Structure 1
Amino acid sequence: MGNAVYRVAIASTDNRYVDQHFGRAESFLIVDVDEDGNYEEIEQRFVIPVCNGGSHDNEKLKKGVEALLDCNFVLAAKIGPGASYELKDHGIASFEMPGEVGDSLYRLDGYIKLLEEMGGVLA
């Protein structure tokens, strides 16, 4: 793999599928993606879930986001507006992109390349 261009945190129960709600995730698969769209698994990062059966604790949400500050993107099966806003506030773009990890990363990479071609800016 070449040099990583960006880092993605993936909410997954098995590190194979993007199948977890951001707020319920107990861990994130962290991957680096290179300029060709190839990805390398870096680590499984354990966090304290930020959601308690529908209610959100702002301190937990902030701590959850702080655990992902080295990431550029978050992929989850579902993500609420509060978490999405908190991530965006730290320069991290989040997407609801359920599916197989490789497929979801391929879709994300295609979206990023499209934005770059259009001269767009992320987040």
Structure 2
Amino acid sequence: MLIAVASQSGIDVDQHFGHAEQFLIFDYGGGSPEPLKTVAVEKYCTSDPNHSFHESRFGAITEALDGCKALLTEMIGEMPKQELLKAGITPVIATGPIADALKLAHDSVCSGGCKGARSEGNCPHA
């Protein structure tokens, strides 16, 4: 399962969705989480607290996250959260080490009953 992570440090989930200028993409399944790539994006937030939904910016972000089933972020607004869900990406709020948060994101999405049992190979998302 592909999972995107909003992280400045590359170690922790430590960034707000709207402030991210890049997302780390991990493959979580069939063993240890594997970092695949980093995708650069134009940050969604314009620093205007009353900004409206930015369809073109958001569309570019979802295109960059193509194939991801979940997105780990420290914080996300309600509108982008709902739009991510419509795009088939489940936003998961977390902080701390990416390795721990990846399991949380996986378990938030997986309906296959594998409960994160990646090593047994019975996750339908592997």
SS in structure 2 of the partner of residue 31 of structure 1:
strand
Relative to the length of structure 2, the TM-score reads: 0.78
SS in structure 1 of the partner of residue 28 of structure 2:
strand
Richer in strand (by share)? 1
Q: Give the C-alpha shift of residue 18 in structure 1.
A: 0.4
Aligned to 2:63: 66
1:1-31 alpha-carbon deviations (Å, 9 max, x no partner): xxxxx00000000211101000110100100
Structure with more contact order per residue of length (Cα contacts < 8 Å, sep ≥ 6)? 2
Identity of aligned residues (%): 29
Inter-CA distance 67–111: structure 2 relative to 1 (3 Å threshold):
closer
Aligned to 1:51: 45
SS in structure 2 of the partner of residue 51 of structure 1:
coil
Aligned to 1:77: 74
Amino acid at match of 1:28: F
Unmatched 5+ stretches in structure 2: 115-126
Relative to the length of structure 1, the TM-score reads: 0.80
Aligned to 1:12: 7
Aligned to 1:30: 25
Inter-CA distance 107–45: structure 2 relative to 1 (3 Å threshold):
same
The count of residues paired between Structure 1 and Structure 2 equals: 111
Aligned to 1:3: none
